[in-house]
Structure formats: C-alpha cells, structure tokens
C-alpha cells in the first residue's frame, strides 16, 4: 500500500475513533451508580467458619437495603490469603467486600512469602465485635482443666497434638505461646480452617486446639463432644462466665491475652462516597435489636459503632498490635 494512502487511512481511523475515546474517557471519569450489579461478600474461610456465619446473616439485610443480589463466596486456604487475593482481583468499587479478621489481613502477609497484598491495602467499614478463644481438648483426654492437662502432657508417651489454621494464623501463635509458656512439646497440625479442625478434635483425631468461644464451639462443649480447658483472656468471658480462664489453671498464663475481631472491609481505593453509603447501612444494622441479639447469641461481644475515621484508627492500632505479637514468635515469620 502506498505510504500516503496508509497514513490517510490511519488518520481516518483515528478521527472516527476519537468520539468513542472521548465518550469512554468521560464514562470512566464519572463513577457508576452504586450499586449497579450484584454485591459479593468474600469469606476467606470454608463454609461454617465464624466469618461465614456473619456473612450469611448480613446477606439478606444488605440485599434489601441496596436492591441488588448479594452473594457469599467462600475461598479458604493458605491462612485465608487465597480469599483475600481473590478480592484483590475484583474492581475496587464497593461491589466486593471482605468479611475479614486479623489472621488473613495482618498475619498472613507477614508470614507467607507468596502473599502480595498488605494490611493497609484495605479500609475497615465496620468491626463486628470481639470474641475470646478457648483451649479445647478431645473428650477422651484425661484432663478437665489446664493443670490436669499439663500433668498429663508431662507423663504422656509422645507429644500431644494441637491443631491450628495455617502458618502465621492467630491460632498458630496461641499454640506456640501455649507451648512456650508451659514448656511443652506439642505436635502442631495445620488445617484449612476452623470447621475441619473442630471436627477432628470432636472425633478424637487431634488432642487440642484453640477455638473461638462462639457458635458451634459452644454447641460441642454443651454436648460434651469436646472439653474446655481455659479461656484465652485473663478475665472470664462476659458471654460465658462459667468457663475457666487459662490463668486460673496456671499462674504462668497471667499475660496470656488473646481475642479476635471480625470486620467488613473494602479495597482502600474504593470511592469515599461508596464507603460512606456502606458505612451508613452498617450503622443501621447496629440499631437493629434482632441483629444485636443474634450477634450476642453467637458469643460475640459487640463493640460500639464507630465512625469511618474511628474505624480507620482502630484498624491501624490492630495492625500494630498483631505485627508486634508476631515478632515474639520468629519461627512463624516469613522467610
């Protein structure tokens, strides 16, 4: 083709395309109405986990408030990081939110070399409340409290096994701290999430594990399928004051103080006006007596509703808290 003709055709194509380019640029500059499609609640743990229960409880109210379908997507594995990585692949426009905890948000990025996101890639919209953990054992283990467990472990033919939910998870750190504080030798057994670990303790396949003092844990305790040896906080749980604390069984656990919060988060780049709308919806949820009663029934101790600015400051403090905690266990740090 003659050079002049080729250049003329290129110029014509550019001229014809220019209105569409300009239109596209204007469309990108104007944020789309929110919500304009289905909303996804990403749960980075298997079905049945505490985060999953919260997501499914929020599913219907969220759908009613915004008039769009709300999907709960579960993707467990790798300390919760697979689900978070999936969220990072979605547009940062509010149509995908994470029902998250410090394990996958703070600890997994610091302990797993393959994780590419960071805690500050997210904004916290809402904190659901705090939940203590309880050290549990299989029903057949001859121990009714921490003191009896330690005596049994000292005389056992082989180390007791203790489950956790992946490298760098808070449950793994508690297990390491238990081992260090009591000077025990334990065999740590990793799981993909709380439900399969809980099932194995109830079935007698593993000796011990820390479980959230909420939901199905309480049911199994009441049924006698697992046994509570001690709560992970210095003071008894306000929701379940009859369960003993670890420090009540051994004074060396006086500094043992672990609980966890769950929250609703979006990508940090999500437009501020979308974050405000989602936060306003959450404030309405915190005024719903039925929702608050349900939350307390699961073992969660609801925290006062936070403004977006307060939620941001709370999140920053928690990132610092868990990062500091992790440094006490260099064996869990990423290589």
- 114 and 232 in a single domain? The answer is no
- Residues 6 or more apart from 251 whose CB is under 8 A from it? none
Q: How far is CA 90 from CA 67, 100, 157, 241, 300, in A?
A: 20, 16, 51, 42, 30
- 249 and 278 in a single domain? The answer is no
Q: Is 284 a member of any domain? A: yes
Report the percentage of the chain scoring pLDDT > 70: 90
For residue range 200-230, what is the model confidence (pLDDT) as tens digits? Answer: 999 999 999 999 998 789 899 999 999 999 9
Q: Is 163 a member of any domain? A: yes
- 78 and 154 in a single domain? The answer is no
- 91 and 161 in a single domain? The answer is no
Rounded to whole angstroms, the Cα distance separating 16 from 21 reads: 10
Give the CATH number of the domain where residue 289 resides: 3.40.190.150
pLDDT band for position 279 (50/70/90)?
very high
Which residues form the domain of 229?
Answer: 132-259
- 123 and 183 in a single domain? The answer is no
- 106 and 140 in a single domain? The answer is no
Q: Is 277 a member of any domain? A: yes
Q: What pLDDT, on the 0 to 100 scale, is given for residue 216? A: 87
228-235: average pLDDT: 94
Q: Is 56 a member of any domain? A: yes
- Boundary-marking domain end, from 214, 244, 259: 259
- 175 and 185 in a single domain? The answer is yes
Rounded to whole angstroms, the Cα distance separating 196 from 114 reads: 24
Please say whether the beta carbons of 191 and 136 come within 8 A.
Answer: no
pLDDT band for position 330 (50/70/90)?
confident
Alpha helix positions (H), the chain: 3-29, 50-66, 81-88, 102, 108-111, 146-155, 170-182, 194-202, 216-223, 246-249, 272-285, 289-297, 308-327
Among 37-46, 102-111, 261-270, the minimum mean pLDDT is found in 102-111
Q: Is 250 a member of any domain? A: yes
- 94 and 195 in a single domain? The answer is no
How many structural domains does the chain have?
A: 2
pLDDT beyond 70 at 143:
yes
- Boundary-marking domain end, from 259, 290, 309: 259
- 201 and 113 in a single domain? The answer is no
pLDDT beyond 60 at 29:
no
- 56 and 122 in a single domain? The answer is yes
Residue tagged 């809402």 (tokens): 126
- 136 and 255 in a single domain? The answer is yes
For residue range 310-319, what is the model confidence (pLDDT) as tens digits? Answer: 999 999 999 9
184-208: average pLDDT: 95
Q: What pLDDT, on the 0 to 100 scale, is given for residue 6? A: 40
Q: Is 268 a member of any domain? A: yes
Q: Is 16 a member of any domain? A: no
Give the CATH number of the domain where residue 153 resides: 3.40.190.10
- Residues 6 or more apart from 97 whose CB is under 8 A from it? 39, 40, 41, 42, 125, 264, 265, 266, 278
- 56 and 79 in a single domain? The answer is yes
């Amino acid at each position: 083709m003659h050079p002049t003709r080729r250049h003329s055709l290129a110029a014509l194509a550019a001229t014809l395309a220019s209105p569409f380019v300009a239109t596209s640029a204007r469309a990108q500059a104007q944020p789309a109405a929110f919500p304009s499609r289905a909303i996804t609640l990403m749960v980075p743990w298997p079905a049945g986990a505490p985060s999953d229960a919260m997501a499914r409880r929020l599913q219907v109210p969220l759908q009613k408030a915004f008039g769009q379908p709300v999907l709960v997507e579960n993707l467990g594995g790798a300390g919760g990081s697979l689900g978070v990585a999936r969220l990072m692949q979605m547009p940062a426009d509010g149509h995908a939110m994470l029902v998250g905890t410090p394990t996958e948000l703070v600890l997994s990025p610091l302990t797993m070399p393959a994780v590419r996101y960071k805690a500050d890639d997210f904004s916290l919209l809402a904190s659901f409340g705090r939940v203590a953990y309880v050290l549990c054992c299989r029903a057949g283990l001859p121990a009714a409290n921490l003191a009896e467990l330690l005596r049994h472990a000292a005389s056992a033919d082989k180390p007791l096994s203790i489950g956790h939910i992946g490298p760098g998870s808070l449950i793994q750190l508690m297990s390491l701290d238990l081992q260090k504080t009591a000077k025990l030798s334990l065999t740590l057994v990793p799981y993909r999430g709380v439900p399969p670990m809980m099932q194995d303790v109830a079935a007698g396949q593993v000796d011990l594990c820390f479980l959230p003092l909420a939901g199905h844990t309480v049911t199994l305790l009441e049924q006698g399928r697992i046994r509570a040896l001690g709560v992970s906080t210095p003071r008894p749980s306000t929701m379940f004051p009859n369960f003993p604390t670890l420090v009540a069984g051994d004074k060396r656990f006086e500094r043992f103080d672990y609980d966890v919060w769950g929250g609703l988060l979006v990508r940090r780049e999500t437009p501020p006006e979308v974050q405000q709308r989602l936060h306003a919806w959450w404030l309405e949820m915190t005024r719903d007596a039925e929702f608050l009663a349900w939350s307390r029934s699961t073992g969660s101790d609801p925290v006062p509703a936070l403004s977006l600015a307060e939620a941001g400051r709370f999140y920053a403090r928690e990132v610092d808290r868990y990062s500091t905690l992790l440094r006490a266990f260099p064996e869990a740090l990423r290589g």
